[in-house]
Amino acid sequence: MFRKMLIGAITLVTFCFIACNPEYVDPVEDHECYESVVTDTTMVHPAVYLDYPGSENGTWDETDIIFSNYTVQLIDAETHEMMMEGYVPNWMGHIFKPVVPGTYYLRFMLPDGYEFVMMDDGVGMFDSDYDSDVVSEDGYSDAFEIQCHEEITDIKAIIRKI
């Protein structure tokens, strides 16, 4: 009887030891942001607003409407290489995801008949929540930095009909 109990206890301890010790897994060499597209949350979501005709004021306000029918590019600020490009056919915009942490800028490309409102061109000259983030006639934004798992959703271009 004692022998059966001893064998049972040894079996139980052995089973618990094996079950409680996780299998060794080699460490991942890649940066933690190099995840699958499904799980990575590092993204850039720009928007283009039409300074509503008749109510143009050079800033974003409640009368402005979300614009579609443009192309936007995500460009590496160090190499000036285009990393991603998206065409925006509808009001939902385009999301660049996943984005590797680094420094980038955007280029908005509009159809004929529109022009950009330049950065700090509105009434609140340094109020970046309401003015355009475009710094050139060619539709380039200023450079911005994105960190691991950061979501940048406040870069906007304000445009007006010519």
* DSSP secondary structure letters along 94-149: --B-S--SEEEEEEEEPPTTEEEEPTT-SSSTT-TTTS--B-STT-BBPPEEE-TT
Number of structural domains (the chain) is 1
Give the alpha-carbon dihedral of 144, 71, 92, 96, to 10 degrees.
-40
The terminus-to-terminus CA distance of the chain in angstroms comes to 96
- Where is pLDDT greater, at 2 or 90? 90
- pLDDT per residue as tens digits for the range 4-63: 565 665 655 554 545 444 444 444 445 555 554 445 678 888 888 887 666 666 666 676
Asked if residue 5 is part of any domain, the answer here is: no
Asked if residue 90 is part of any domain, the answer here is: yes
Q: Which domain holds residue 132?
A: 43-161
Asked if residue 153 is part of any domain, the answer here is: yes
CATH number at residue 83: 2.60.40.10
- pLDDT per residue as tens digits for the range 113-133: 988 887 765 444 445 667 788
Query: Of all residues in the chain, what percent carry a pLDDT higher than 70?
Result: 62
What one-letter code names the amino acid at 132? S
Asked if residue 23 is part of any domain, the answer here is: no
Asked if residue 103 is part of any domain, the answer here is: yes
Asked if residue 134 is part of any domain, the answer here is: yes
Rounded to whole angstroms, the maximal C-alpha distance in the chain is: 96
**Mean pLDDT in the chain?**
74
67 close to 160: Cβ distance less than 8 angstroms: no
Q: Average pLDDT, stretch 98-125?
A: 80
Its pTM stands at: 0.67
Predicted local distance difference test score (pLDDT) of residue 48: 84
Asked if residue 84 is part of any domain, the answer here is: yes
Asked if residue 3 is part of any domain, the answer here is: no
Predicted local distance difference test score (pLDDT) of residue 22: 47
What one-letter code names the amino acid at 43? M
DSSP3 helix / strand / coil % (the chain, rounded to 5): 10, 30, 60
Predicted local distance difference test score (pLDDT) of residue 145: 92
CA gap 106, 94 in Å, rounded: 12
Q: Is the pLDDT of residue 74 over 80?
A: yes
